[in-house]
Amino acid sequence: MKRIDFWGRDEYDERLLEEVLRGVKTVTCTPKVWYDQLPNEEKSEKGDIIQVVTKRNEHKANLQITDFYEIRFGEIQGEVGERIAKGENSTLDEFTRDHIFSWDKPLKSDGFELNEDTIIVVEHFKVTDIFTDVKIDLHLVPMTEAEGYKVKNWTDFELFRESADYFYSVYKKKDFVAFVRFRQSETNTFMYYKVNPDFEGQLVEKELMKNAEKYAEKALLATNIIHEWSSIYTYHK
């Protein structure tokens, strides 16, 4: 059976898969230059049943392709664009912004340009089987420069990047709810987090800490994690 996994910022980012399992994401889009590079057994046709897997190859669900077509990026507007954006669990403006973020630099790295004439393969689908409990989890993902600027608006310290510093954004659904910073010495991993003031009191911070610790163990190979709790905190230079 054909298989699919969904885009994420790193190998632990399964936010889009979570949206599929909750039934709010029913469309996936791929620039044709990338789609054409897929092996034939991974390409879809209307009616196909596809296995949905995590980036760690865990089979979580099956879906069926209900519609399949190609469209220019610049044509994703009007009723067609609204249908695609709704299937991506976003508004049309969010769809355009998010996919420029996801596609622009990677396409340039591959020698292609994202513009209005870029052909996009659109696959609509419905979930037919789910083999796991569906829960809304906290996801840690590498922080972007734009998110770093957002953080400066709600922290009382400046961000200094060192070679051993790692900054991560924390998302729940589509919301940027916190950030976590790790710094590592030869023996320890120091962890500091701050919740977005808009979400203070709305998060279970123990759950956030457990997720952050688990992520550090997997992604940073942390063995001894030390929490840094100072409310007035300046990163080392």
Strands 2-4, 49-53: pairing kind = parallel
Strands 119-130, 27-31: pairing kind = antiparallel
Distance CA 83, CA 144 (A): 28
Residue 48 has pLDDT above 80, yes or no: yes
> Using an 8 Å Cβ cutoff, are 87 and 25 in contact?
yes
Residue 107 has pLDDT above 50, yes or no: yes
pLDDT-based confidence at residue 186 (cuts at 50, 70, 90): confident
Instruction: Determine phi and psi for 36, rounding to 5 degrees.
Output: -65, -20
- Residue 233: what pLDDT? 46
Q: Map out the domains of the chain with their CATH numbers.
A: 2-130 (3.10.400.10), 138-227 (3.40.630.30)
pLDDT-based confidence at residue 231 (cuts at 50, 70, 90): very low
- Mean of all residue pLDDT scores within the chain: 90
pTM of the model: 0.84
Residue 41 has pLDDT above 60, yes or no: yes
Q: Dump pLDDT digits (tens) for 160-177.
A: 556 568 999 999 988 999
